Amino acid sequence: MITAAADGSALGNPGPAGWAWYVDDGCWAAGGWKHATNNQGELKAVLELFRATAHLDEELLVLCDSQYVINAVTKWMAGWKRKGWRKADGKAVMNVELLQELDAELAGRRYRFEWVRGHVGHPLNEAADERARGAATSFQRGADVPNGPGWNIECESAVSSDPAAGPAPASESVDGDAPDLDDALFSLDEEPEAWHTVTLALSTEDIDRLRVRAQAEGLSPEEFLRGLI
């Protein structure tokens, strides 16, 4: 099994942006753009990880702190494709080019996504985040972007069923061959069969914090709350 973290970063969101995937210090890659969103960075990181490992037969375990990416791949993508890459409300899916490229890379692959909480000291997630932010900062400053060694012969030693840095306790595993795993009390997918009302009482400070965290993920406050639930 290949265990890797993938992460994105956008300064200003949108703004100078970066992406990175990371296995270990000798096996990682990064890049970015002068102007993009955090979600684009998150998608690009996963896309480039699948491209880098396309020649291998091993299962890929992707550690990711973006619920948007995980839900897009494991829950929403199939429905978007059936509707011609449009959402339930008829509007075009955002980031459709990256999603279509990722969809093509997923074909025939064995993979799992595991959600890890960002910025809590998970070693692989922190390493990917550092490199994604480094790429974004390089674009901001007009400096050379540290691209990393990519997948090379040294990476083969990282293919292990018992990775040195296991996932943090606060994580959620989603199989690539089971696109709709939702054992919660009720579903809050993008296209649920029935809506359920949840009422929350938030202080002004709570709302301000919610908006900041949602913006950092490139989501609306409502979308961010749905992800937390």
Whether 42 is a known active-site residue: answer yes
**CA dihedral sign, ordered 99, 105, 109, 114:** negative
CA angle 95–130–169, rounded 5-degree value: 90
Whether 65 is a known active-site residue: answer yes
Whether 108 is a known active-site residue: answer no
Which ranges constitute the DSSP H helices of 96-198? 96-106, 123-141
State the catalytic residue, choosing from 24, 48, 65, 105. Answer: 65
Whether 25 is a known active-site residue: answer no
State the catalytic residue, choosing from 24, 42, 105, 217. Answer: 42
Whether 129 is a known active-site residue: answer yes
**Residue 207: what pLDDT?**
72
pLDDT digits (tens, 9 = 90+) for 112-121: 999 999 989 9
CATH topology of domain 2-179: Nucleotidyltransferase; domain 5 (3.30.420)
Which whole-number Å values give the CA distances from 136 to 43, 104, 126, in the listed order?
Answer: 15, 26, 15
* Regions of the chain where pLDDT drops below 50: 161-172, 177-195
**Residue 153: what pLDDT?**
85
**Residue 121: what pLDDT?**
93
**Residue 167: what pLDDT?**
41
**Residue 169: what pLDDT?**
38
Which whole-number Å values give the CA distances from 200 to 42, 192, 203, 218, 221, in the listed order?
Answer: 29, 20, 10, 22, 13
Q: E strand or H helix at 29, and its extent?
A: strand 27-36
**Residue 156: what pLDDT?**
78
Extents of the domains making up the chain: 2-179
